[in-house]
Amino acid sequence: MMKPISPIYINVKGRLLDLATPQVMGILNVTPDSFYSGSRMQTKEDIAARARQILDEGASIIDIGAYSSRPNAEHISAEEEMNRLRTGLEILNHNHPEAIISVDTFRADVAEECVKDYGVAMINDIAAGEMDHRMFQTVADLGVPYIMMHMKGTPQSMQKEPSYDNLIKDVFLYFARKVQQLRDLGVKDIILDPGFGFGKTLEHNYELMAHLEEFHIFELPVLVGVSRKSMIYKLLGGTPQDSLNGTTVLDTVALMKGAHILRVHDVREAVEAVRITEKLKIESGYDK
């Protein structure tokens, strides 16, 4: 089990969120085409019920997304993305005004509107500024925590024979450059997402997981999102619908390697994984 390096907090709307105990982020997709059909919420009733479920099952963050980033997903306009988000954010603000809301977007204008008009607390960018070069300055101006993910290419191209000279080295250099750019702009709360399934083969994904603890060299929170992804069902067989057990296994491995946030479809199972690994941490003296 990974021994914690030092206390890690992020400033969420003026409150410090302690990541010494890993947090669970529940996925709320307001898209018609996300890779896992069970996560697609289209009606107002479905969105409200899913948000309630995420919080009732113990997640501390709701991550709402309106642009499907599955391989070969349809590229929609910023207007369509924002129209979908408005519906979901209005429901969240009305029903759960105290909830910590993250928006999954790579567009600076969308991020800005979500934070300024709907009080969104965090931005989750799959492209780390690569698909909208105004994103870094926008996040700096907004002063919100920023999750940046490693992705090679775009959702439309990322799985077309991805290759690396040295996967771990390449990802580390990518993050080192990006972190410095954000620090230079004054961004304080940065969270790293290694990008499982984004521009990576099956072997790349498991190599990344095997070396996950090495990301602590950055002394930044690490988010892991493997929920029901192809790295599970391409290895074991089946479909995303069959991949809950594999997800929980990998989430547990990630927690043992020091992950701070789990981004998941199945909140209750992830919360249980956190509780069990935290109990092990206490009994083995790793929390001292």
Evaluate whether 151 touches 126 at the Cβ level (below 8 Å): yes
**Which residues are identified as catalytic?**
229, 263
- CA angle (79 as vertex; 38, 97 as ends), nearest 5: 60
Rounded to a whole number of angstroms, the distance between the first and last alpha carbons of the chain is: 14
Distance CA(281)–CA(223), nearest Å, equals: 19
Number of neighbouring beta carbons within 10 Å of residue 214: 14
Tokens of 225: 């999102």
- CA angle (237 as vertex; 231, 240 as ends), nearest 5: 60
